[in-house]
């Protein structure tokens, strides 16, 4: 069986196998490609396997908005925790750094003088840190705000991003309640064999080893996924019509699940299109899972307040939902109810094709010719797709051409916009009948004819 993890339930954690073997895997474990994503509130994060941290949306808990993915000056990052007014990161050397904005308008990363030997940090509102000795520290609010040991959390393998749930190594779950001295933790009854946890704004998710998902808490928008809405549940109920799940994520009032087959499913609030099923607005919330449009081969998911992220095995990151703070990373502020490409990692850098195709028909198909026979099974809309000049996906049709060396690109049902630039993306997974045909991914610009 595939390992089953939570992705928004926690951190962007990059540690060695030796470390994982002897310490709790405190949160998100990178996908098989060594890359990781996360989302907090109105911010999105990407962490590569060299410790480079990228973000877009509301920057590091500040009022600054980044329209496109921007690399942080901090290097060798192992994890990041971001809230509405702060951002904390841990580095591979065990140090902890916090984003500081000063009255004179300057800002920078400042090392925390108290925390050392930290493996990872997590939290969207509350904050927790895991040290190398296996102890968990928490940020205590009150008259004396400080980091202090959390003695109740021992033998922990995962903590929810909002620090509302903790998963123990024996597969049982602890739930947090706030106090002046931090959080107190108590067992969640009726849950055993749990492999991952996630939490939203008052709703909670747990993934069992058998691939089923269980939920409890607030349910105003159907975010528990049991076919009902409006009624809170104090005890876990099973999410209906959902099996074979390998990862879960909790947004503000919506939920995500990644299945073993690489598809993504969503339920709950959908006013901003955060479910990704092509609908949005009042009355479009879903109380049972629906499939996110156009996503396959996904290896990781994450959820912010009102937006969602998915990373495919090729390293590309896709986003949908609210975009008021540019959290979709596509250089716009327009919400999207279907996934748009927002980030291309170093493993998926597209080479610009030197020839620009011009005068493409608004309503007729056109073809791309290769120098070798193609494997028709790889000519799919997941390996070949079109984006407009705002990085929004265009619903074109992709199919093998009339001979075995061409690909047919059919226009969207409503046609292309006239005199507009579009981009055709071809992944390395497009192959010939004898193997690889593209040494690197290709991006081809084409321009449509005037009206």
CATH of the domain at 295: 2.130.10.30
Tell which of 293, 327, 346 closes a domain: 346
CATH of the domain at 383: 2.60.40.3710
| 242 token code pair | 């959902």
- Same domain membership, residue 252 and residue 103: yes
Of the candidate ranges 73-82, 253-262, 420-429, the one whose mean pLDDT is the lowest? 73-82
The structural domain count of the chain equals 2
- Same domain membership, residue 358 and residue 342: no
Q: Convert the pLDDT of each residue in 272-313 to its tens digit.
A: 999 999 999 999 999 999 999 999 999 999 999 999 999 998
pLDDT at 16: 25
pLDDT at 305: 92
| 166 token code pair | 């903790």
Q: What is the DSSP letter of 374?
A: B
Residue numbers of the domain that contains 412? 351-448
- Same domain membership, residue 247 and residue 184: yes
Residues sharing a CB contact under 8 Å with residue 96, sequence separation 6 or more, in sequence order: 88, 89, 90, 111, 112, 115, 116, 118, 121, 129
Q: How many CB atoms lie within 10 A of CB 162?
A: 24
Q: With bands split at pLDDT 50, 70 and 90, how would you rate the model's confidence at 39?
A: confident
Q: 357, 444 in Cβ contact below 8 A?
A: yes
Q: Convert the pLDDT of each residue in 323-379 to its tens digit.
A: 999 999 888 899 999 999 888 764 456 778 887 889 999 999 999 888 888 888 888
- Same domain membership, residue 376 and residue 332: no
Please tell me the total number of residues recorded for the chain in this structure. 451
Q: Convert the pLDDT of each residue in 221-232 to its tens digit.
A: 999 999 999 999
Could you tell me which residue, 451 or 210, shows the higher pLDDT? 210
- Same domain membership, residue 265 and residue 381: no
Q: What is the DSSP letter of 411?
A: P
Instruction: Compute the CA torsion angle 191, 197, 201, 203 (nearest 10 deg).
Output: -30
Could you tell me which residue, 406 or 33, shows the higher pLDDT? 406
Percent of the chain at pLDDT > 70 equals 86
- Same domain membership, residue 392 and residue 334: no
Q: 176, 184 in Cβ contact below 8 A?
A: yes
- Same domain membership, residue 216 and residue 158: yes
**Rounded CA gap, 430 and 380, in Å?**
8
| 181 token code pair | 């001295």
Could you tell me which residue, 12 or 176, shows the higher pLDDT? 176
Q: Tell me what the mean pLDDT of segment 186-190 comes to.
A: 91
- Same domain membership, residue 56 and residue 30: yes
pLDDT at 334: 92
Would you give the distance in Å from CA 237 to the centre of its chain? 25
Can you give 81-118 as a three-state secondary structure string? EECCCCEEEEECCCCEEEEEECCCCCEEEEECCCCCCE
- Same domain membership, residue 246 and residue 223: yes
Q: Tell me what the mean pLDDT of segment 151-180 comes to.
A: 80
Q: φ and ψ at 176, to 5 degrees?
A: -100, 145
Q: Which of 58, 28, 22, 25 is nearest to 43 (CA)?
A: 58
Tell which of 315, 346, 377 closes a domain: 346
- Same domain membership, residue 365 and residue 321: no
- Same domain membership, residue 393 and residue 286: no
- Same domain membership, residue 369 and residue 312: no
SS3 235: strand
pLDDT at 77: 87
pLDDT at 270: 98
Tell which of 311, 346, 381 closes a domain: 346
Instruction: Compute the CA torsion angle 156, 78, 6, 196 (nearest 10 deg).
Output: -10
pLDDT at 395: 81
What's the predicted TM-score (pTM) here? 0.74
């Amino acid at each position: 069986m595939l390992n089953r993890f939570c992705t928004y339930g926690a951190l962007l954690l990059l540690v060695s196998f030796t470390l994982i073997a002897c310490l709790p895997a405190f949160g998100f474990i990178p996908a098989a490609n060594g890359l990781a994503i996360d989302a907090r509130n109105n911010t999105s994060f990407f962490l590569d396997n060299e410790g480079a941290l990228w973000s877009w949306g509301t920057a590091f808990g500040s009022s600054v908005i980044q329209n496109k993915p921007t690399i942080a000056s901090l290097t060798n990052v192992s994890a990041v925790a971001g809230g509405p007014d702060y951002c904390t990161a841990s580095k591979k050397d065990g140090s902890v750094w916090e984003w500081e904005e000063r009255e004179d308008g300057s800002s920078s990363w400042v090392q925390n003088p108290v925390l050392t030997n930290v493996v990872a940090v997590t939290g969207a509102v509350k904050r927790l840190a895991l040290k190398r000795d296996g102890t968990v520290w928490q940020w205590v609010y009150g008259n004396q705000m400080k980091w202090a040991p959390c003695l109740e959390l021992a033998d922990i393998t995962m903590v929810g991003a909002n620090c509302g749930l903790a998963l123990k190594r024996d597969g049982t779950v602890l739930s947090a309640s706030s106090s002046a001295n931090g959080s107190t933790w108590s067992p969640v009854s009726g849950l055993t064999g749990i492999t991952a946890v996630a939490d939203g704004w008052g709703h909670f998710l747990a993934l069992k080893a058998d691939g089923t998902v269980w939920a409890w808490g607030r349910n105003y928008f159907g975010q528990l996924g049991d076919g009902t809405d409006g009624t809170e549940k104090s005890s876990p109920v099973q999410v209906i019509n959902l099996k074979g799940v390998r990862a879960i994520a909790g947004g503000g009032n919506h939920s995500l699940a990644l299945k073993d087959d690489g598809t993504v499913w969503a339920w709950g609030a959908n006013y901003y299109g955060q479910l990704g099923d092509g609908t949005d607005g009042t009355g479009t919330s879903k109380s049972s899972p629906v499939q996110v449009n156009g996503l396959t081969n996904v290896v990781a998911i994450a959820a912010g307040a009102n937006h969602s992220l998915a990373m495919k095995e090729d390293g590309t990151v896709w986003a949908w939902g609210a975009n008021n703070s540019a959290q979709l990373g596509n250089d716009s502020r327009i919400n999207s109810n279907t996934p748009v490409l927002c980030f291309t990692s170093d493993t998926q850098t597209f080479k610009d094709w030197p020839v620009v195709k011009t005068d493409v028909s608004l309503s007729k198909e056109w073809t791309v010719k290769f120098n070798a026979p193609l494997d028709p099974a790889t000519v799919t809309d997941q390996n070949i797709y079109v984006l407009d000049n705002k990085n929004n996906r265009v619903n074109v049709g992709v199919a093998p051409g009339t001979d075995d060396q061409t690909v047919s690109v059919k226009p969207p049902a409503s046609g292309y916009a006239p005199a507009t630039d579009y981009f055709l993306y071809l992944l390395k997974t497009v192959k010939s009948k004898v193997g690889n045909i593209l040494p690197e991914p290709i991006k081809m610009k084409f321009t449509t004819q005037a009206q």
